[in-house]
A and B are shown apart, each in its own frame.
Chain A
Amino acid sequence: MSRAFVPLVIAGMLLFAAAPLVVAGAPFEQTMGLVQKIFYYHVPSAMLMFVSAFVCGIASAAYLFRRSAAADRVAVAAGELVVLFGLIVLVTGPLWARKAWGVWWEWDARLTSSLLLWMIFVAYLLVRRFGGPGSEKLAGAMALFGMANVPFVYVSVNYWRTLHPKTSVVMALEPGMRAAFWFCVAAFAILYVLLLTLRKRLEDRQAAVEQLYLATED
């Protein structure tokens, strides 16, 4: 394991462990009160879901157009993380919505498009897992499609009438909330890098095992 990895792990763990304390110190929101604190995990998870979708799409493009096997392994790792962080978003969001809106779910533009984006990447993983030989290319094309959806999901709150807060909410945060929010974003970002690196390493090992199987068969 690279020496630079260890400090990153420690920093990530400290940041992530401290995040609840930082969030507890942030002021309460005027109308939503305590339940608004879900924001500090919900939004960073959504940001990382989008980032991971881009990573998966770009890596898939590198695999499709340059035949880079390493890029394909990054794509698989990023695809799994889209599903993971998307699941976090789709669970924490309704928990917040139940109190803030009075309903668990609403078929508005942002929620529906987020769910569809998540489902595209679930389909990506299913194709990779069960598609058989050559399914990497089909999955790569799906990842490109998923990546293209991300800007629509992001701007959906600005162009359609939705219950979901608009994107301007983050830039308009009060100083106390802003510090807690960006702290959580940093914690989640470090965590994301660690998970991506670990998952890619797992794919590298898998590729090495397959190479050795081929060598033993020869």
Chain B
Amino acid sequence: MKRTVLVLLVFALLPGAALMARQPAPAARPPVPADPTAPTTASQPAPERVASQDFVPVSALPPQAEQLPAAPLVIGAYAFVWVALLAYVWMLWRRMKKLERELADLQRRVQTHETRGGSA
């Protein structure tokens, strides 16, 4: 019983400890009026914390990543769009041809049936 209470206490205190350990977010600075005489310097925004463990800063990227050529990707994308659309149109055309043949055949059969029924 005592052990259970102890375990429960630890679990109850953990979130509190985590909350106390969190750093408060920095207060937003009021905007400083621009001084036309001061040299312009680009201020880099503070990098956001990323939850992913695979985050790699820009300066540490391996050279291979920067050498990935864009042209094959662009050509591949456009080619895929054209191929997909043309394939779909071709598929529609084939199905339409098949249906029109079927429709013509059925209409002939219905007419033949009506003719025989009329002559009888």
**Contact string against B for A residues 74-111, beta-carbon threshold 8 Å, 1 for contact and 0 otherwise:** 00000000001001100110011011001000000000
Q: Which residues from chain B contact A212 at a C-beta distance below 8 Å? A: 103, 106-107, 110
A37 to B88, CA, bound (A): 24
| A216 CB-CB contact with B under 8 Å | yes
- B60 to chain A minimum Cβ distance, whole angstroms, is 12
Interchain CB contact under 8 A, B65 and A205: no
| A198 CB-CB contact with B under 8 Å | yes
The 8 Å CB contact of B103, one of A20, A35, A41, A205, is: A205
Interchain CB contact under 8 A, A202 and B74: no
Q: Which residues from chain B contact A95 at a C-beta distance below 8 Å? A: 73-74, 76-77, 80
| B71 CB-CB contact with A under 8 Å | yes
Which one of B61, B68, B74 has the greatest number of beta carbons of chain A within 10 Å?
B74
| A42 CB-CB contact with B under 8 Å | yes
- A34 to chain B minimum Cβ distance, whole angstroms, is 4
In this complex, how many residues of chain A approach chain B with their Cβ under 8 Å: the count is 33
Interchain CB contact under 8 A, A91 and B77: yes
Q: Which residues from chain A contact B95 at a C-beta distance below 8 Å? A: 202
| A191 CB-CB contact with B under 8 Å | yes
Q: Which residues from chain B contact A202 at a C-beta distance below 8 Å? A: 92, 95-96, 99
Interchain CB contact under 8 A, B103 and A208: yes
A166 to B36, CA, bound (A): 33
- B16 to chain A minimum Cβ distance, whole angstroms, is 27
Q: Which residues from chain A contact B73 at a C-beta distance below 8 Å? A: 35, 38, 95-96, 98-99
A195 to B91, CA, bound (A): 12
The 8 Å CB contact of A201, one of B76, B96, B106, B110, is: B96
| A199 CB-CB contact with B under 8 Å | yes
Whether A98 contacts B109 in the complex (CB less than 8 A), given A38-B77, A198-B92, A205-B96, comes out as no
| A8 CB-CB contact with B under 8 Å | no
Q: Which residues from chain B contact A88 at a C-beta distance below 8 Å? A: 80-81, 84
Given contacts A96-B77, A212-B110, 16 further A-B contacts (CB under 8 A): A20-B78, A35-B73, A38-B73, A38-B74, A38-B77, A88-B81, A91-B84, A95-B73, A191-B85, A195-B92, A198-B96, A199-B92, A202-B96, A205-B103, A206-B99, A215-B110
A residues lining the B interface (CB < 8 Å): 20, 33-35, 37-38, 41-42, 45, 84, 87-88, 91-92, 95-96, 98-99, 102, 191, 195, 198-199, 201-202, 205-206, 208-209, 212-213, 215-216
